[in-house]
Structures are given as structure tokens and as C-alpha cells.
């Protein structure tokens, strides 16, 4: 059902944790499935220098959280904001259609963190 990349990011998630003095924090959830994601950003000179996540949810939710942190790290704020749900799913070599909402959450959490950062500028 899941690709090898999804399983790898679920079993060995990257960038797990919190950033104490984060420049932006985005938290989103899906009340239907119960998944919750929080993304923390550290930004210097408009570049994402550090990114961490905490996710409560299914394997796909954890894998998409892990993958979006890998994709966003080192990008400009504008480049990271433009990361789409399909890019996250494609980077994981696909998700089952019933789990696509998980990649939506990852992209939404990243955008919420960037919006939080922008609101503080």
C-alpha cells in the first residue's frame, strides 16, 4: 500500500522536534482523521535554516511531515511557501488516494508557519 520512501520517512523521520525560539510556527489538524501537525521554522536572510516538526497521526502523516521538512530546508521563504501537496506526494513516490489529505496537511502546516513568520516581520 505504501511506497518504500513513505515507509522510510515513517520509520526514520527526519527533522523531528521543536525549535525553542522559532521564527514561525504552524499548526494544523484534520478533525475527521485526528491528524495534527506542527512545523517550526528558523529563518535567516529569508532562507529556512532549520525546520522541525511534531506530528500526531498515521504513518502517511508522519512521512509527509518528514518529507516536507527535507524539501523546504535551505529554500527561500517564497520557494517553501509554494511547495504543493502534489510535490510532497511525488517526492514520496506517491500516496494512496485515501491518504492524500495527509500531504495537504503537511503543505498547510508549512504555509501556516510561514504566515506566522511573516506576521511577525
pLDDT value at position 30? 84
pTM above 0.85, yes or no: yes
pLDDT value at position 69? 98
Which parts of the chain sit beneath pLDDT 50? none
What's domain 4-110's architecture? Alpha-Beta Complex (3.90)
Cell 522541525 belongs to residue: 52
Positions annotated as catalytic residues are 33, 102
pLDDT value at position 113? 98
Domain positions in the chain: 4-110
What is 70-93 written as a DSSP string?
Answer: HHHTTSBHHHHHT--HHHHHHHTT
pLDDT value at position 104? 82
Q: What is the largest CA-CA distance in the chain?
A: 43
H or E stretch at 72: helix 59-72
Amino acid at each position: 500500500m505504501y511506497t518504500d520512501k513513505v515507509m522510510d520517512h515513517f520509520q526514520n523521520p527526519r527533522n523531528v522536534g521543536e525549535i525553542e525560539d522559532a521564527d514561525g510556527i504552524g499548526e494544523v489538524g484534520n478533525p475527521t482523521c485526528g491528524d495534527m501537525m506542527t512545523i517550526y521554522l528558523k529563518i535567516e536572510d529569508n532562507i529556512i535554516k532549520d525546520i522541525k516538526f511534531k506530528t500526531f497521526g498515521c504513518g502517511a502523516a508522519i512521512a509527509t511531515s518528514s518529507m516536507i521538512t527535507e524539501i523546504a530546508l535551505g529554500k527561500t521563504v517564497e520557494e517553501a511557501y509554494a511547495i504543493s501537496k502534489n510535490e510532497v506526494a511525488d517526492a514520496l513516490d506517491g500516496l494512496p488516494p485515501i491518504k492524500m489529505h495527509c500531504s495537504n496537511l503537511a503543505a498547510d502546516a508549512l504555509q501556516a508557519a510561514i504566515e506566522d513568520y511573516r506576521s511577525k516581520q
